[in-house]
Amino acid sequence: AQSVTQLDSQVPVFEEAPVELRCNYSSSVSVYLFWYVQYPNQGLQLLLKYLSGSTLVESINGFEAEFNKSQTSFHLRKPSVHISDTAEYFCAVTISNDYKLSFGAGTTVTVRA
């Protein structure tokens, strides 16, 4: 079975500073990877995903993530954060022919002025 480890439970960061959220996965087969964001008192929103193709994927709000098969990682980065990026971020993995998403424990990002 596949699993996900998010290496940082909390990441405090100042506004306009860069941020990196680390995600490592374990699987014996090819995987599909996702980052979801959950703002306070809301549901999960898809931030970006890797299904195939280019290993660098980008979101419309400035986040990017790179799939690294050799390091089994899918780290999320943003070069300059805003107060509005304060949220919980979940990395998730699935495999072919499987409805089940395996989520990491989540990383709480708190952006301070």
> Residue with structure tokens 């799939």?
67
Distance of CA 107 to the CA centre of its chain: 9
Between 19 and 48, whose beta carbon lies closer to another protein?
48
Residue 28 in the binding site for another protein (CB under 8 A): no
The residues, ordered by sequence, that sit 6+ positions from 97 with a Cβ below 8 Å of its Cβ are none
Tell me the closest approach of the beta carbon of residue 107 to another protein, in angstroms: 11
Q: Of 12-20, 46-54, 58-66, 72-80, which segment contacts another protein by CB under 8 A? A: 46-54
Residue 34 in the binding site for another protein (CB under 8 A): yes
Residue 45 in the binding site for another protein (CB under 8 A): yes
Residue 100 in the binding site for another protein (CB under 8 A): yes
- The footprint of another protein on residues 56-95 (CB under 8 A) is 90, 94-95
